[in-house]
A and B are shown apart, each in its own frame.
Chain A
Amino acid sequence: MTRELWEGNQAIAEAAVRAGLEAYFGYPITPQTEILEYLSRRMPELGRAFVQAESELGAINMVYGAACAGVRVMSTSSSPGVSLMMEGISYIAGTEIPMVLVNVMRGGPGLGNIAPSQGDYNQAVHGGGHGDYPRIVLAPASVQEAVDLTMLSFDLAEKYRMVTMIIADGCIGQMMEPIQFPEMKPVVRKDWDWATNGKMGKRERRLLTSIYLDPYEEEKTNLRLLERWKQIQANEVRYKEYFMEDAEYVVIGFGTAGRVSLSAVRAARQEGIKVGLLRPVTVSPFPSGAIEDLAKRVSGMLVVEMNSGQMLEDVRLAVKGRVPVEFYGRMGGVVPFPDEVLGEIHRMASGKITADINPRDAWYERMVAMK
């Protein structure tokens, strides 16, 4: 197949179509609107369902309905819209049905701006909707990876009956890169043994709900979710490593921050600094095992994010204080330049780092001094 130049958002949309997306529900918000616009043409052309909902509340609950019916369904939004969807996401998680949601993150909090951000890491990975529920979160760092992860997300969501999110940012969503699409998969309506699609003379009635009035029953459900989560942690962790063979230092970053860091790592390598990069592709499940192993062989780590150090906490949990962990972040929609990250690599490699201070506090002091 040939390589074609595609914008990230449109590529995600087409990838979903090729994954067998049967229904899309969304609401316009920059910087993801091209997904909705693309699908408003593409889905009806293929005889598939498309609705521009009245709001993200409407959209996520249309997704909920279609997911109950057992079809491949997706919504996409950006930070404020995803916040609005959180109740629905919790219900979908509690009902244990598959769905895919793409968050093309933007600067926040509040209305913020439309520039690329990773400020929703905690919302996606740790928080968001109410109640105890795990979810799968994938973080692409290029348009091609966004395509591949979109295809994968539907399989994961269905395999584990779990909410699967892709967190990209305005950078991934709106830049154009040459990509190769996978083959168009046929729409297959699987005969799920849980879907509420009408008895049709074949079976007893079914019920899909997230209500468990008896706390002991709810706890059983919480445990069932955790059991599935254990399998996911064992089988679905994905990450990419660069220049790691002889690395003495490692930079850790996901998505666009990981990509910017790679440029910095390349530049540092040219200067002879033995630094590598670990880029989590699944931020949930988090590659804690890989990072723990690294902590046994490198002398220091630098976490780079486009937020105030949200993934940093997961890295520190994995490292368990074995090596110093440093942090560099830009917030509010600011994308760090490779030179900034290179400067941090220099600082780390100069040996003046220690595990004794909180990396977030230290970073904050440096940020304030810089401004």
Chain B
Amino acid sequence: MVPTPNNLVYERPEGFTDAPTHYCPGCTHGIAHRLVAEVLEEMGVLDKTIGVAPVGCAVFAYNYFDTDFVEAPHGRAPAMATGIKRVLPDRVVFTYQGDGDLASIGMGEIVHAAARGENITVIFINNANFGMTGGQMAPTTLPGMKTTSSPNGRDVETQGYPIRTSELLATLDGAGYVVRRSLHDPKNIRMAKKAIRLAFETQVRGLGFSMVELLSTCPTNWNLTPVESLKFVGDKMAAYFPLGDYKISSGVAQIKV
């Protein structure tokens, strides 16, 4: 055993491997990963968890979590998770998806997984662009926001409007728990963790589809510093994508953790 100092306040969660991060400085994917790992550890379900990684910056999510993992085609993580959960209903199955993955190419899969009330948990990273491919416009890109494929700023006349995914999925009866949180400051990060816990609790109680949308940064592609990026999330993104609870079914409302 490595001796631990008695003033230890922060350590690697058990749910993490010791792989060094590949995410860019200031990217909040790492925070989201850590919150999920902490929650799985606290719930004591690491051993029976199977994660589904997306195509996107989080394609390597499987390097970090000390759980079984599979890696889905772009957008199809909810379908893969469905396949796993239907044959292993006592396992904890979660997908971790970006906004291109979930709200663009994979919109069909996420809507139907939610509509079926699939007992899976979805961690949805909304960073307003396609990170991995170099910062193109995503369905979540804000009006006027510059990306490499909306170089003059997203023109809603020709490029349409952002999709508020949580609001959309909340209309489906199969959804048990759908909320939006943000990772731009410690208070919001703590609230995000609580939500992630509740989402997994929804799953283990068999209360249907659960999703936590997390407003996230992408300093590299936004051409902002990490600090400016956090401010952009708190000011601009949270204005278009209001934080809040969009669906808490009566069953989920009774969960006490």
Residue of B nearest to A202 (CB): B47
Are B62 and A88 in contact, CB atoms less than 8 angstroms apart? no
Known A58-B112, A211-B59: A196·B83 in contact at CB below 8 Å: no
Inter-subunit contact B47/A68 (CB<8 Å) = no
B69 touches A196 (CB 8 A): yes
| Interchain CB contact (< 8 A) of A206 among B48, B68, B87, B111 | B68
A215 at the interface (CB under 8 A from B): no
Q: B81's contact among A53, A54, A65, by CB below 8 Å, is which?
A: A65
Inter-chain CA distance A208–B62, complex, in Å, is 9
Q: Which of B74-126 contact A (CB under 8 A)?
A: 76, 79-88, 91, 108-109, 111-112, 116
> Could you tell me the distance between the alpha carbons of A95 and B109 in the complex, rounded to whole angstroms?
21
- Whether A207 touches B47, Cβ cut-off 8 Å, given contacts A58-B108, A65-B82, is no
CA distance A198 to B92 in the complex (A): 9
Shortest CB distance B12–A (Å): 15
Report the Cα distance A199→B67, complex, angstroms.
7
A47-80 near B? 1/0 per residue, CB < 8 Å: 0010101110111111111111101010000000
B138 to chain A, nearest CB (A): 20
- Give the distance to chain A from B40, nearest Cβ to Cβ, in Å: 12
Smallest CB separation, A333 vs chain B (Å): 29
Tell whether, in the assembled complex, residue A197 and residue B50 are in contact, meaning their CB atoms are under 8 Å apart: yes
Partner of B73, one of A51, A88, A198, A208: A88
B133-152 vs A: 1/0 string, CB under 8 Å?
A: 00000000000000000000
Can you list, as one digit per residue, whether each of A78-91 has a CB less than 8 Å from chain B (1) or not (0)? 00000000011001
A197 with B76: CB separation less than 8 A: no
Chain A contacts with B in 188-231, Cβ cutoff 8 A:
196-201, 205-211
A69 and B84 form a contact (CB under 8 A): yes
Contact of B86 among A57, A58, A62 (CB under 8 A): A62
When distances are taken between beta carbons in the complex, the residues of chain B under 8 Å from A73 are 83, 87
Q: Is the CB of B67 within 8 A of A65?
A: no
Nearest CB of chain A from residue B184's CB, rounded to whole Å:
31
Contact pick for A207, options B68, B73, B83, CB 8 Å: B68
Assuming the contacts A22-B87, A66-B84, A71-B87, asked whether A53 and B79 have C-beta atoms less than 8 A apart, the reply is yes
The one of B52, B91, B116 that contacts A197, using a Cβ cutoff of 8 Å: B91
**Chain B CB within 10 Å — which of A66, A69, A210 has the most?**
A69
Enumerate chain B residues within 8 angstroms of A328, measured Cβ to Cβ: none
Q: What's the minimum C-beta distance from A205 to chain B, rounded to whole angstroms? A: 5
Task: Name the distance in Å between B234's Cβ and chain A's nearest Cβ.
Answer: 34
How far apart are the CA atoms of A58 and B105 in the complex, in Å? 12
User: What total of chain B residues lie within 8 Å of the partner, measured CB to CB?
Assistant: 36
Interface range on chain A (Cβ under 8 Å from partner): 35 or more
B238 on the interface (CB 8 Å rule)?
Answer: no
**Is A25 at the interface (CB under 8 A from chain B)?**
yes
- Mark contacts of B1-39 with chain A using CB atoms, 8 A cut-off: 1 yes-contact digit, 0 otherwise: 000000000000000010000000000000000000000
Q: Pick the contact of B68: A22, A49, A197 (CB < 8 A).
A: A197
Decide if A64 touches B68 in the complex (CB within 8 Å). Answer: no
Contacts of A87 in B (CB 8 A): 73
**Chain B residues, CB < 8 A from A61:** 72-73, 76, 79-80, 83, 109
Interface centre among A68, A73, A199, A210 (most CB of B within 10 A): A68
Query: Does chain A have a CB within 8 A of B248?
Result: no
Q: Which of B17, B50, B71, B81 contacts A209 (CB 8 A)?
A: B71
* Cβ of B133 to closest chain A Cβ, rounded Å: 15
* Closest-CB distance, A158 to chain B (whole angstroms): 15
* Cα A54 to Cα B111 with chains together (Å): 9
Contact of A149 with B by CB under 8 A? no
B49 within 8 Å of A by Cβ?
Answer: yes
B70 at the interface (CB under 8 A from A): yes
Q: Which single residue of chain B is at the shortest CB-CB distance from A87?
A: B73
Q: How far is the CA of A201 from the CA of B231 in the complex (A)?
A: 43
Q: Which residue of B lies closest to A189 (CB)?
A: B87
* Distance in Å: Cβ of B79 to nearest Cβ of chain A: 3
Of B52, B53, B76, B111, which is in contact with the most chain A CB atoms at under 10 Å from its CB? B76
B66 close to chain A: CB less than 8 A = yes
Q: Identify which of A54, A57, A65, A208 gathers the most chain B CB atoms within 10 Å of its CB.
A: A65
Taking A197-B91, A211-B59 as given, write out 17 further A-B residue pairs in contact, using a Cβ cutoff of 8 Å, ordered by the A residue number: A22-B87, A49-B87, A51-B82, A51-B116, A57-B79, A57-B109, A61-B72, A64-B80, A67-B83, A91-B73, A196-B84, A197-B50, A198-B48, A198-B50, A198-B91, A208-B70, A210-B71
A-B contact pairs, 29 of them (CB 8 A): A49-B87, A57-B108, A58-B82, A58-B109, A58-B112, A60-B79, A62-B79, A62-B80, A62-B83, A62-B86, A65-B79, A65-B80, A65-B83, A66-B83, A69-B84, A87-B73, A91-B72, A95-B70, A196-B50, A196-B84, A197-B50, A197-B68, A198-B48, A198-B50, A198-B91, A200-B48, A201-B47, A205-B67, A205-B69
